Chain A
Amino acid sequence: MAILAPTDTAPDRKFAVVGGANAPPKTAPRISRTALAYRMKETLGRIGWTLASITLFASIWEFCWLVGWADPKLLPPPHVFIGNFADQLKFFNTATRWAVGVNAADGPTPLQALGITIASTTMRVMVGLFVASVLAVTVGVLIRYYVIVDKLVLPTVTLLSPVSPVAWLPIAIFLFGIGNAPAIFMVVIALFFHMVLATISQIDGVNRNLLNVARTMGATKWQTYRKVIVPAILPGLLIVLRMNLFAAWMVVLIAETTGVGYGMGQVIMLARNTFNPSLVFFCIALIGLLGFLFDLALRMIQKRILYWVPETTGVLRGL
């Protein structure tokens, strides 16, 4: 992403692999064998606990089903909604069978259809998130850079930011009809205002001393932004981006229920209309998995770009 790429002030990346502040002083850029073993153990442990956590909640559910507290028609347990995987896939059919000249048997296989559905939803999330971040960070920086932009734009942004994305849904349809555009618009509009405010608060939180150093060194406003403020707010912005990734996943489903051809939201709508809780839970599980994977990817990007930020995740664990 253009805005999140390190600026040219970023030094060479050879220390990028090293860990946080608690890691021992690193003299060699290459990690030693013991360090590698330690990290593998860490990773395996994390995966183990993730599986244990899922297993715990799945077994509670299965137990409720077993003793008859959970009606399988309303709350089908995991083994039911994941078990008939092949059966679920037929609801993801993306064939345009109603079109003239298309054979009823034509179209992708169920597995391909699942792939297409997931890919279209993911695409909308990613494009929406990308457009929203670029716009929001640009506007946020402009608001702090030019007082006139601050005075003219910030009040409106603040005014619009509490509006629920659902309120924008009709506008999205009026403006863009159906298809990808309204879904992407919804993601952008849902994230934009919050991300502008988040960017501003990140800028306001930059250590005064760093700014004063730049000023005494004779930096211009532009240099101060480029060489101090932008690198200083990157860590915070990436966290904002991760938080908003989840928001984007939530909004895209709402948008997709309004008819965008295919997508996860559309499948959930189908499940609702046909009273199919099993399919709903199947979709929920799928979305959870996707969101988790994307968050993991962003975290890895974060580690690479923000090599100077000490690892603080989980510092307070068990406190």
Chain B
Amino acid sequence: MAYDKPYSSQDAVVCRGVSKVWAEGTDRAHEALREINLEVKPGEFVVFLGPSGCGKSTLLYLIAGLESETGGEIWAFNERVEAPSPDRSLIFQETSLFPWLTVWQNVSFGLDIRGVPAKERREVARETLQRVGLTAAMDKRPDELSGGMRQRVAVARALAMRPKLLLMDEPFAALDVQTRARMQDFLLDVWRESGASVLFVTHHIDEAIALADRVAVFTSRPGRIKTIVPIDLPRPRDPFAPESEALRRELTALMRDEVDRAFAEQEAMLAAE
């Protein structure tokens, strides 16, 4: 098999011809991803942009190792991805904090799994929470925090494992616009400081423009990478600068085709039934 000999490159993530078919071999089979080819460099910030249901989250789960691909290969840091790893931390859209644990216990959950004693864990949690500005909330419970704070704790929990890759599945989608902008700045700080690569899924064009080194635009059903748009602008980026406007126009046009196609397809499917 192709992956018997180790793949060697400097890249953080390499996807070669990755495809995913859900419920393969049954009459409910449907193709989520087709022929994904992608390289992510260490320390790079890549945004997956596409309409809902285009399979961009699926690709993130495949890279996390939570699902397995039905074709192709995924490599992360010169190792074939076969199972989840603390090197690749996943952050979800909805609250994924453990409601019965305090903030510091949530942050150090991964260390608890490794059997690190409580005293040491608390210290690590304190340091990590300092990086997200939430040391004051250490002994609070998740339900005492706001949505934005909770996502910062989730980021801290991922950082506590010192991941080389942060996988984020629409992490700010449930937040209001103002909080979202603040969280984007916060994320950029954390990213620069940690040196990790980030793969960030969103359907928000402005979010992609604010964050990405490169934007991978997805087609819908099956998901393919339509094009990759590099953004070579210094951060923080002014959303109203002419360069941003041009990007917004470009990405909007790319997205509109896909949304139109997805709508037409859904209508055709309804008509066929």
Contacts and interface: CB of A to CB of B under 8 A. Distances in A.
Interface string A194-222: 00000000000001011011111111000
Interface in B105-158: 105, 109-110, 112-114, 141, 143-144, 157
A21 B143 contact: yes
B72 interface: no
Interface residues of A, number: 27
Nearest to B114: A218
B101 A9 contact: yes
A212 B102 CA distance: 19
A11 interface: yes
B266 interface: no
B98 A216 contact: no
Given A25-B144, A227-B112, A212 B90 contact: yes
A308 B99 contact: yes
B144 A216 contact: no
Contact of B90 (A9, A26, A216): A216
Interface stretch (B12-20, B81-89, B191-199): B81-89
B113 A215 contact: no
Contacts of A25: 144
A304 to B, nearest CB: 13
B64 interface: yes
B149 to A, nearest CB: 11
A10 interface: yes
A234 B100 CA distance: 10
Given A9-B100, A217-B110, A218-B84, A212 B66 contact: yes
B167 to A, nearest CB: 9
Interface of B: 64-66, 84-86, 88-90, 92, 94-96, 98-102, 105, 109-110, 112-114, 141, 143-144, 157, 161
A-B residue pairs, 10 tightest by C-beta: A217-B110, A209-B96, A216-B84, A308-B100, A308-B99, A215-B84, A209-B92, A219-B113, A231-B100, A11-B102
Interface of A: 9-11, 15, 21, 25-26, 207, 209-210, 212-219, 223, 227-228, 231-232, 234, 308-310
